[in-house]
Each structure stands twice: as structure tokens, then as C-alpha cells.
């Protein structure tokens, strides 16, 4: 019974907001509730904010960070010998991006990185996940490196470290050098897997004196399914299932070869792992049988990438389901793919598959998602806070993972500036607060999540949505390039400072 809340509403009611009739009705409801529930006046006292020792606190040393990616923020696509990526070509193809835009300028981070590091510092964040643009470092994808391209990341790293911010670098956030697409069909060929490893080894050799943690590939599932299967993302191909499965296998191989190259050429102790948007399976109702079903779903629906990396084999279920379309692979490749990693990054945004137990194989059934499921400004971004509780918990259990990061989590919102010029994004705060409460619940139960990277530090080029969807803690005016903190920036700063959900 929530009657005390209704009573508070009445006490605080702005009389003008309610008609007489509504007010009388509300007052009536409240008096009934009061009679029925003996309200204790202490219930109305404001509880003190939680601190690190309260139930909503995170453990000491929990890593709070923000995230971005190169193509989405850097701009400067012609600067200092950078080559073309598949996203440059795709974004310049008419009809591909919702608002007809591209990321030629984006948030101009290439020139404003010092200011942007200042924005991270102002949040009090201790870590920053950014990506390195492969076509800056190897304009042709392979061959001779472009020293000026890497110099940019040298400058960025020095700025981060000088401000006490720990860099987490991602090697592949979708901006494949176009020459590799032209020559090999991109990830359709294992030539690209090998080129990726060469690039990874080179970067580790040059930067691992300062970058201690490297994510190999960002969201294999998304760029393979949408880029090579549905033709929605770059490179815009619509290949048949067998070819898509082979592409995914080549990405997994590229990841494994990159892990080996980083171990060989990076400093000892350099940590490496993938950042994956795993298929988000969660129990519709958390009975023991449904939780078990969600574990099975988690393993089977992620068998093509995270599963093969962590298990060194494709599951029987995956191979049976794929049938003649299963990826061609050798035992040697599986060994490379499953080279041990130091952590697993999970990008978690929305629930996808609410599952229940089923008697028949594979032991789970997926429920349809109702059309009325609430979402943020992006329609795909359904609001299911418990997703960030279940996914780490299930993944840790299924694959026995001991170090997890939430490599991305965040929300799009409409973000209109108010008359005072500020952005009061209470909807984003609502999303973040609820997700972080659930993350706290997972961590408090011992799920090994060590850090959280909020997507995104600032508004940026949101792929096929162009500049129409904003995910930033900082608002970016793309005409003037002025950055303004949104209310969510203050919210996140409070979280970081108190190491608890506020």
C-alpha cells in the first residue's frame, strides 16, 4: 500500500493543478489510506544519503569511467595522413545516415582533446575508455605505419595520465581501413584477422608503457549482424547466413591473434579482453528453473563470439542450429581464439530476451517483447534496469569469469536546452540511477564487476542515427563545438564522489 505517498502528494499539492473534484477524490483516498495503515510520522523523514558503507555503496577501488570511440568524436578525418575507414565511405553514401550527416567534424575531439580530458576530470572519473582509429595508424590497413597518426594518441595518453585518469584503449570500434574492405572484403577474409593482429601488436609495442588495459574488438555481434548481415551499418553488406557466420569467426580469430600479438609485443602485465554486446538474456520471473534457462540461453545465444573465446569451441547447439551454414574452422584456430584473456567487457543497454524454462531442447523459450515496453529516445533502448544485474551474474557463472567491466552503459534522451541554457536530463538520470542500483546489487552479491564506463562522455555521431540521438553527459553544440554539462554530469559526479548510488 502506497497511501503515505498519496498523503504527501495531497500535503504538497499545488492546488491549481487539481480540479476541485480531483482534489476531493484524492483527499478521500488518502483519508481512507490513513485509517487503514496507521502512518508513522517517522516514515516521512528523509533518509540520509547512502555512503560507501550503506547498502547502495560500491566497494573501495571500484573503477568509475566514461567511454567514447574514435569515429564518433574525433573528426579531423583528413588530418596528419589518416586513411579512409568503411564508416567514412558509408556515411558519405546518400541515404545511409538518418540526418544525412557524417563524422568529418563530429565533436572535433582531435583538436579539443585537452578540453575533453578536462571534462572527464571534472566528473572525478578515474578511467577513460577511448578507441584508436586503425586508419590513423595504418592508413592502408597494413604495411607502413603513419607516425603522425599514433602521435595523436601519444598526446592524448600524456594528457590523461597527467590528470590522473587511467586509459583503457579499444583497438577496433568499427572503423576498418577501407583498403582492407576493398582488397579482402573486410572481415570476410582471415587476411583482415591477421592485419588486425599486426596493428594490435604495433600499438601495444608503442603504447603499453602507458596503456595497461586494452579492449580488442567492440561489439562483434552488432557490427557483424548489422554490417554484414542486415546491411544497416558499414560496410552495408547483406550476406547469406553462412558468410555472416564466417565473418564472425574471422573476427573471433582476429581477436585471438591480437591477444597473442599484444602479449608478444606489449609490456609484461598488459591486460587484454573483448568488449561485447552479449545477447541480453534474463529470466522473465526469477524462479530457479528460469534462471537456469537464462544461463542456457546466455551460453547458446553468445556461442558465436564470447562463447568460443571463453570455451575454445562452438557449442553443439550452435553448430546444430547453424547446420550447413556453420563457420569453417580448424582446431588450431580455436586454440588461437581462446587465448586466455584478463577480463571481459560487457556493453549493457537493454533487455532483449526474457526467457522461461522449457521442457524441450534447448531448455529455454524466449517470450515476445510487448510493443508497450518503455524505451529511451532510441527505440531499441528498452528500459530494463535488471539487465545490468543479470547479465554480469549469468556471464560470470556460465564462463567462470573473474574480472568483468561494464564497458558501456548509458542512454539517449531528447536533451532540449531550457531557457537558462541548461539541459535537465532527468530521464537519463532516471535510467542511470535504476541501472546503477541493479549493478550495485550484483556487486554486493559478489558478481566480479570491477568497473563501469558510462556511454558517453559527450554527445557524438551516433552511427546511422547521425546527430539525432544524444548520449552524452556533456551537451555538444555541433555548430560551435561548445560543451555544456547536463544535469546527468552532476549526478554522475555525485555517484563517483560518494562511490554509491545517490
CB 297 within 8 A of CB 331: no
Contacting range for ligand FCB; rule: CB under 6 A; set: 45-53, 202-210, 217-225, 473-481: 217-225
Does 131 contact ligand FCB by CB under 6 A? Answer: no
CB 495 within 8 A of CB 123: no
CB 328 within 8 A of CB 250: no
How near is the Cβ of 463 to ligand FCB at its closest, in Å? Answer: 6
The helix/strand/coil state of 78 is coil
How near is the Cβ of 10 to ligand FCB at its closest, in Å? Answer: 41
Catalytically active residues are 219, 408
d(CA 163, CA 73): 20
Q: Which of 74, 166, 175, 219 is close enough to bind ligand FCB by CB under 6 A?
A: 219
Cα 395 to its chain centre, rounded Å, is 16
Contacting range for ligand FCB; rule: CB under 6 A; set: 80-88, 101-109, 214-222, 336-344: 214-222
**Nearest to residue 265, comparing CAs of 349, 201, 350?**
201
Does 295 contact ligand FCB by CB under 6 A? Answer: no
Does 233 contact ligand FCB by CB under 6 A? Answer: no
Closer residue to ligand FCB, CB minimum distance, 315 or 409: 409
Q: Which of 88, 408, 415, 425 is close enough to bind ligand FCB by CB under 6 A?
A: 408
Does 218 contact ligand FCB by CB under 6 A? Answer: yes
How near is the Cβ of 310 to ligand FCB at its closest, in Å? Answer: 20
Does 168 contact ligand FCB by CB under 6 A? Answer: no
How near is the Cβ of 338 to ligand FCB at its closest, in Å? Answer: 24
Collect all residues with Cβ–Cβ distance below 8 Å to 15 and sequence separation of at least 6.
Answer: 23
Q: What is the DSSP string of 432-494?
A: HHHHHHHHHHHHHTT--EEEEEEE-SB----GGGTTSSB--SEEE-TTT--EEE-HHHHHHHH
Q: Which of 128, 467, 471, 474 is close enough to bind ligand FCB by CB under 6 A?
A: 471
Contacting range for ligand FCB; rule: CB under 6 A; set: 88-96, 216-224, 227-235, 429-437: 216-224
How many other CB atoms sit within 10 Å of the CB of residue 451?
Answer: 23
CB 276 within 8 A of CB 215: no
45-74: which residues touch ligand FCB (CB under 6 A)? 69, 72
Does 347 contact ligand FCB by CB under 6 A? Answer: yes
d(CA 68, CA 218): 11
Closer residue to ligand FCB, CB minimum distance, 302 or 315: 302
How near is the Cβ of 222 to ligand FCB at its closest, in Å? Answer: 5
Helices (H) and strands (E) in the chain, counts: 18, 13
Q: Which of 277, 415, 425, 459 is close enough to bind ligand FCB by CB under 6 A?
A: 277
Residue 270 DSSP code = -
Q: Which triple of cell numbers denotes residue 353?
A: 530476451
How near is the Cβ of 378 to ligand FCB at its closest, in Å? Answer: 7
If DSSP states are collapsed to H, E and C, what string results for 224-256?
HHHHHHCCCCCCCCCCCHHHHHHHHHHHHHHHH
Does 181 contact ligand FCB by CB under 6 A? Answer: no
Footprint on this chain of ligand FCB (rule: CB under 6 A)? 69, 72, 218-219, 222, 277, 347, 408, 455, 462-463, 471
Amino acid at each position: 500500500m502506497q497511501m503515505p505517498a498519496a498523503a504527501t502528494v495531497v500535503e504538497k499539492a499545488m492546488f491549481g493543478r487539481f480540479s476541485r473534484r480531483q482534489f476531493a477524490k484524492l483527499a478521500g483516498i488518502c483519508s481512507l489510506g490513513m485509517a487503514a495503515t496507521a502512518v508513522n510520522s517517522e516514515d516521512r523523514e528523509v533518509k540520509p544519503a547512502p555512503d560507501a558503507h550503506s547498502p547502495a555503496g560500491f566497494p573501495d577501488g571500484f573503477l568509475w569511467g566514461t567511454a567514447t570511440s574514435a569515429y564518433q568524436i574525433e573528426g579531423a578525418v583528413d588530418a596528419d595522413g589518416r586513411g579512409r575507414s568503411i564508416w567514412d565511405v558509408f556515411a558519405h553514401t546518400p541515404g545511409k545516415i538518418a540526418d544525412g550527416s557524417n563524422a568529418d567534424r563530429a565533436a572535433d575531439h582531435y583538436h579539443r582533446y585537452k578540453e575533453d580530458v578536462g571534462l572527464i576530470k571534472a566528473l572525478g572519473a578515474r578511467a577513460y575508455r577511448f578507441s584508436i582509429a586503425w586508419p590513423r595508424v595504418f592508413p592502408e590497413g597494413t604495411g607502413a605505419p603513419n607516425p603522425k597518426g599514433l602521435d595523436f594518441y601519444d598526446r592524448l595518453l600524456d594528457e590523461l595520465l597527467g590528470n590522473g585518469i587511467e586509459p583503457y584503449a579499444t583497438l577496433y570500434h568499427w572503423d576498418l581501413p577501407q583498403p582492407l574492405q576493398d582488397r579482402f572484403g573486410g572481415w570476410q577474409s582471415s587476411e583482415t584477422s591477421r592485419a588486425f593482429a599486426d596493428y594490435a601488436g604495433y600499438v601495444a609495442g608503442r603504447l603499453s608503457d602507458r596503456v595497461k588495459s586494452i579492449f580488442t574488438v567492440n561489439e562483434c555481434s552488432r557490427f557483424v549482424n548489422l554490417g554484414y548481415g542486415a546491411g544497416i551499418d558499414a560496410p552495408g553488406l547483406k550476406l547469406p547466413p553462412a558468410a555472416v557466420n564466417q565473418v564472425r569467426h574471422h573476427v573471433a580469430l582476429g581477436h585471438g591473434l591480437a591477444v597473442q600479438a599484444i602479449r608478444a609485443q606489449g609490456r609484461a602485465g598488459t591486460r587484454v579482453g573483448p568488449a561485447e554486446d552479449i545477447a541480453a538474456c534474463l529470466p522473465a520471473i526469477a524462479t530457479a528453473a528460469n534462471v537456469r534457462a537464462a544461463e542456457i540461453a546466455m551460453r547458446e545465444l553468445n556461442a558465436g563470439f564470447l562463447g568460443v573465446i571463453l570455451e575454445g569451441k562452438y557449442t553443439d547447439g550452435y553448430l546444430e542450429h547453424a547446420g550447413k551454414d556453420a563457420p569453417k574452422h580448424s582446431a588450431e584456430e580455436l586454440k588461437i581464439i581462446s587465448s586466455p584473456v584478463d577480463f571481459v567487457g560487457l556493453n549493457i543497454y537493454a533487455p532483449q530476451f526474457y526467457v522461461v524454462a522449457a521442457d524441450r531442447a534447448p531448455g529455454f523459450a524466449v517470450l515476445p517483447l510487448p510493443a508497450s515496453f518503455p524505451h529511451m529516445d532510441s527505440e531499441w533502448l528498452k528500459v530494463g534496469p535488471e539487465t545490468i544485474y543479470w547479465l554480469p551474474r549469468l556471464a560470470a557463472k556460465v564462463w567462470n569469469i573473474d574480472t568483468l567491466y561494464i564497458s558501456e552503459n548509458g542512454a539517449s534522451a531528447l536533451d532540449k536546452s531550457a531557457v537558462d541554457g541548461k539541459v535537465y536530463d532527468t530521464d537519463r538520470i532516471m535510467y542511470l540511477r535504476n541501472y546503477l542500483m541493479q549493478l550495485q546489487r550484483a556487486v554486493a552479491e559478489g558478481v566480479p564487476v570491477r568497473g563501469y564506463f558510462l556511454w558517453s562522455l559527450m554527445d557524438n555521431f551516433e552511427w546511422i542515427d547521425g546527430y539525432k540521438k544524444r548520449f552524452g553527459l556533456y551537451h555538444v553544440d555541433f555548430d560551435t563545438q561548445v560543451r555544456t554539462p547536463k544535469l546527468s554530469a552532476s549526478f554522475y559526479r555525485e555517484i563517483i564522489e560518494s562511490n554509491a548510488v545517490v
